[in-house]
Amino acid sequence: MAEPAELVIQDLHVSVEGREILKGVNLTVPTGEVHALMGPNGSGKSTLAYTLMGHPKYEVTQGQVLFRGEDLLELEPDERARRGIFLAFQYPTAIPGVSLANFLRMSLKSVTGKEMPILQFRNLVKEKMALLKMDDSFFSRYVNDGFSGGEKKRAEILQMALLQPQIAIMDETDSGLDIDALRTVADGVNALRGPRLGILIITHYQRILNYIKPDHVHVMVDGRIVRSGQQELVEALEARGYDWIISEVQSPQGV
């Protein structure tokens, strides 16, 4: 059994094409906890997600990111995945001609470094699909080709269940989902919650947090986390929006 671990972000500054987006982010996400990162458009939430996975577009100019004491910033994206970091994309890409079954098998081999026997793999996928209440027809469909928004996100949750990461970063998983799809995806995430998985949910809105209750909530404004709390902070944001926090940040007294 994997030991408890944590993702530690310290004074992280990130630029894109010479423009600073993240301006000193500090955040710790331990396994076993669900953290929500909220904030208005353009605050830097998705920049943080892609930086954590090593997208070359994002230049780290200061700070460090540690996982199990190791500096993630020194690792390539595939090495980060093998360490146990997973990113669920806001807009999953369609891959016509590649079945979900083959894609999942290749993903598993890439992360574990081992080829799983076909029968064992099929049984494992069926077990995870049953846990997530997914129809077996998903297995033979092409990756995200013709999928609805909800189906794309469920396919990513299936991949997460199969790879069993220690830290899962979910970048606006609720984007484009109707209420039924949102509930289905949230049920899948809740089925995977446990002491060996830390989750960072990145979202604009509180609606997904009605179904996935976070242990901690953080608000990002202009590249910094300016407020942290628990469920009552989500409720305050729902009632008052982000303007009151932005006003406090911009006032001479600060936050």
CATH classification of the domain holding 68: 3.40.50.300
Q: Is 151 a member of any domain? A: no
Residue 239 maps to a domain: yes
Mean confidence (pLDDT) of the chain = 91
Tell me if 201 sits within 8 A of 38, measured CB to CB.
Answer: no
How many domains is the chain partitioned into structurally?
1
Contacts for 185-192 with beta carbons within 8 Å, 24 or more apart? 185/150, 185/153, 185/154, 185/157, 186/211, 186/212, 187/132, 187/133, 187/211, 188/132, 188/133, 188/154, 188/157, 188/158, 188/161, 189/157, 191/131, 191/132, 191/161, 192/131, 192/157, 192/160, 192/161, 192/168
Q: Which domain holds residue 227?
A: 6-93+167-250
The answer to whether position 111 is within a domain reads no
Residue at 69 is within a domain: yes
Read off the pLDDT of residues 48-74 as tens digits, 9 standing for 90 and up.
999 999 999 999 999 999 999 999 999
Confidence of residue 255 (pLDDT cuts 50, 70, 90): very low
Whether 48 is covered by a domain: the verdict is yes
Residue 86 lies in a domain: yes
- pLDDT value, residue 175: 82
Residue 190 lies in a domain: yes
| Confidence bin at 250 (pLDDT 50/70/90) | confident
Does residue 245 sit within a domain?
yes
Among 134-143, 149-158, 184-193, 215-224, the range with the most confident prediction by mean pLDDT is: 215-224
